[in-house]
C-alpha cells in the first residue's frame, strides 16, 4: 500500500539513465535526468519526438525501470519492488491519462470510470465514479457508451478514470493530442484545476507549447537531458 503522510515531492527522479539496444547500436534515451513534482504542482515536459519524453514518463510511472539513478513515487522506490508490488503502486499512487483514450467500448461511461476502483476492491465504487464524472461535467453522460461521445468528452472520461482512485500522482501523455485547440484547452484547464484542488502532482508530456504554458513549470528535454526550465 501507499505510505501515508509522505513529505516532499510526490515524484522525484535523480540521475536517471536509460538505454536500449537497437540491433548492434546502443541508443541512450535518458542521460542523467533530475526531475521532481511537488503536491499541487503541474510540470510540463516538452521536447521533440525521440527526445526521451515517453521513456521518462514510463519510468516515472513504474512501467519501466532505469538503468541507473533513483526514482521515488510518494517516497517509494519502484526498482526495489517486485512486479506485483509495482503494479499495486501504480493502482494506488498513479493515474494515467493518454492521448488515445483507451476506453472500453463495451462498458458505459460510468463503468469505465469505476473499473480502477473495482480492481482495487473499493466499496461504493459506482457512486464514487458518478461523483467524479460530475466533477468533470459529465454527470448526464454516465450511462452512455464511449462511441456516443465526442473526443473531448471521451478525454474527460479518461481524466475521471485517472482521478477516481485519488492517486496523488497524475501522468499525462499528450492528453490534448487528438483534440482541437479549443477543446484541448478546456480539457487541460480542467485537468490542472482538478490536480490543484486535490493537491496532487501532474507531469504533463506535450508537444504543444501553448498547452505547456498552462503548467507551473516547463522543462525541455533534448537528447535525453533536461536542457532548460522555465516558469
In a domain, 121, yes or no: yes
In a domain, 79, yes or no: yes
Sheet holding 25-37, edge to edge: 25-37, 11-22, 68-73
- Considering its fold, how many domains does the chain have in total? 1
155 in Cβ contact with 163 (< 8 Å): no
Q: Which domain holds residue 208?
A: 11-230
- What is the pTM for the complete model shown? 0.88
pLDDT value at residue 109: 96
| CATH number for the domain harbouring residue 97 | 3.40.50.300
In a domain, 3, yes or no: no
Burial pattern 5-29, b for ≥16 Cβ within 10 A else e, equals ebeebbbbbeebebbeeeeeeeeeb
In a domain, 5, yes or no: no
- Tell me the per-residue pLDDT of 25-52, one tens digit each, with 9 for 90 and over: 898 999 999 999 999 999 999 988 878 8
In a domain, 4, yes or no: no
Count CA atoms within 13 Å of residue 142 on its CB side: 16
In a domain, 43, yes or no: yes
In a domain, 1, yes or no: no
167 in Cβ contact with 94 (< 8 Å): yes
In a domain, 107, yes or no: yes
Per-residue pLDDT for the chain (231 aa), expressed as one digit of tens each? Answer: 344 456 789 999 999 999 988 888 898 999 999 999 999 999 999 988 878 898 999 999 999 999 999 999 999 999 999 999 999 999 889 999 887 788 999 999 999 999 988 877 766 788 889 999 998 889 999 999 999 999 889 988 998 999 888 899 999 998 887 788 888 888 888 889 888 988 999 999 988 888 888 899 999 999 889 987 776
Amino acid at each position: 500500500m501507499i505510505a501515508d503522510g509522505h513529505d516532499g515531492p510526490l515524484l522525484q527522479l535523480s540521475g536517471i539513465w536509460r538505454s536500449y539496444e537497437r540491433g548492434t547500436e546502443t541508443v541512450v534515451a535518458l542521460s542523467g535526468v533530475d526531475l521532481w513534482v511537488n503536491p499541487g504542482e503541474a510540470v510540463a515536459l516538452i521536447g521533440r519526438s525521440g527526445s526521451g519524453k515517453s521513456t521518462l514518463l514510463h519510468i516515472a510511472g513504474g512501467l519501466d525501470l532505469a538503468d541507473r539513478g533513483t526514482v521515488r513515487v510518494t517516497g517509494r522506490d519502484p526498482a526495489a519492488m517486485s512486479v506485483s508490488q509495482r503494479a499495486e503502486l501504480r493502482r494506488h499512487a498513479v493515474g494515467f491519462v493518454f492521448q488515445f483514450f483507451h476506453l472500453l467500448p463495451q462498458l458505459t461511461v460510468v463503468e469505465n470510470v469505476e473499473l480502477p476502483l473495482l480492481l482495487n476492491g473499493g466499496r461504493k465504487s459506482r457512486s464514487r465514479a458518478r461523483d467524479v464524472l460530475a466533477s468533470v461535467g459529465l454527470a448526464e453522460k454516465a450511462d452512455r457508451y464511449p462511441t456516443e461521445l465526442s473526443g473531448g468528452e471521451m478525454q474527460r472520461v479518461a481524466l475521471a478514470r485517472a482521478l477516481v482512485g485519488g492517486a496523488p500522482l497524475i501522468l499525462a501523455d499528450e492528453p490534448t493530442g487528438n483534440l482541437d485547440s479549443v477543446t484541448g484547452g478546456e480539457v487541460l484547464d480542467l485537468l490542472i484545476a482538478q490536480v490543484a484542488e486535490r493537491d496532487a502532482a501532474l507531469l504533463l508530456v506535450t508537444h504543444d507549447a501553448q498547452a505547456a504554458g498552462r503548467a507551473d513549470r516547463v522543462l525541455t528535454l533534448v537528447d535525453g537531458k533536461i536542457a532548460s526550465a522555465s516558469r
